[in-house]
Chain A
Amino acid sequence: GDSVTQMEGPVTLSEEAFLTINCTYTATGYPSLFWYVQYPGEGLQLLLKATKADDKGSNKGFEATYRKETTSFHLEKGSVQVSDSAVYFCALSRGGRRALTFGSGTRLQVQP
């Protein structure tokens, strides 16, 4: 079945540091890939998405590139802020199936 694997957290960085959160997936066909973010006390929000190989999704300074050859969708940001502290979830969607398959989430803590 489909699965998403994320690096375990927490990831602790200082403000303005470079961020990478790894995500790899297993799925048949050509899934769409997503990153969702969950701020403390809130539900998940869509951060960015990519629908085909080599697509780059971007939003709020975050980027992720759909790499089919390595089945990866790593999240990056050049300079993190304290306000980026949250849990980040990688997810995939296969074709017309509306329900997403999520990873276990990676907690990011940014210190001033």
Chain B
Amino acid sequence: ETGVTQTPRHLVMGMTNKKSLKCEQHLGHNAMYWYKQSAKKPLELMFVYNFKEQTENNSVPSRFSPECPNSSHLFLHLHTLQPEDSALYLCASSQDTGGGTDSPLHFGNGTRLTVT
């Protein structure tokens, strides 16, 4: 078990569809993240949640809507996406210790999203 589980592993959706990505962590962490991984581009931070509260939104378009009902679960709701949104979406978590050095990120295996 990786500690951070993402579902589904693969998703194909049309531009008019509505779908959701799910992330669950079993590590007792308090911070959760969504990252977007596109080919030949830096990993892009999308959202950060700390103790269920959103602490960072990295200028993400409103067609991506995150939800964090508790510290163990994180969702990314998708609607009216564009083909350029096709990418690998990675969820991560970390312990809330107030600093990045002693609190490494633990990543899930990602959801490969294709928008047609």
| A interface residue numbers (CB < 8 A to B) | 3-4, 8, 32, 34, 36, 41-46, 49, 51, 89, 91, 93-105
Q: Which residues of chain A are within 8 angstroms of B6 by Cβ–Cβ distance?
A: 43
**B42 pairs with A104, CB closer than 8 A:** yes
**Given A43-B2, A43-B109, A105-B43, is A98 in contact with B103 using a C-beta cutoff of 8 Å?**
yes
**Given A43-B90, A43-B92, A43-B110, is A97 in contact with B100 using a C-beta cutoff of 8 Å?**
yes
Complex formed: what's the CA distance from A106 to B100 in Å?
23
Chain B residue at minimal CB-CB distance from A103: B42
Highest count of chain A CB atoms <10 Å: which of B43, B96, B104, B110: B43
**Given A104-B41, A104-B42, is A34 in contact with B104 using a C-beta cutoff of 8 Å?**
yes
Q: Which residues of chain A are within 8 angstroms of B90 by Cβ–Cβ distance?
A: 43-44
Q: List 10 A-B contacts (CB under 8 A).
A: A36-B105, A41-B109, A46-B105, A49-B101, A89-B43, A95-B100, A96-B98, A101-B42, A104-B42, A104-B43
Q: How many A-B residue pairs have CB under 8 A?
A: 71
Chain B residue at minimal CB-CB distance from A93: B100
B70-93: which residues lie under 8 A (CB-CB) from chain A? 90, 92
Q: Which residues of chain A are within 8 angstroms of B109 by Cβ–Cβ distance?
A: 41-43
Give the 10 A-B residue pairs with the shortest CB-CB distance, closest first.
A43-B107, A93-B100, A102-B43, A46-B104, A32-B101, A44-B107, A104-B42, A51-B101, A43-B109, A43-B108
Highest count of chain B CB atoms <10 Å: which of A4, A8, A89, A100: A100
Complex formed: what's the CA distance from A41 to B10 in Å?
11
Chain B residue at minimal CB-CB distance from A4: B42
Chain B residue at minimal CB-CB distance from A41: B109
Q: Which of B42, B94, B99 contacts A96 (CB 8 A)?
A: B99
Complex formed: what's the CA distance from A41 to B108 in Å?
10
**A99 pairs with B33, CB closer than 8 A:** yes
Complex formed: what's the CA distance from A98 to B105 in Å?
9
| Shortest CB distance A55–B (Å) | 11
Complex formed: what's the CA distance from A46 to B102 in Å?
12
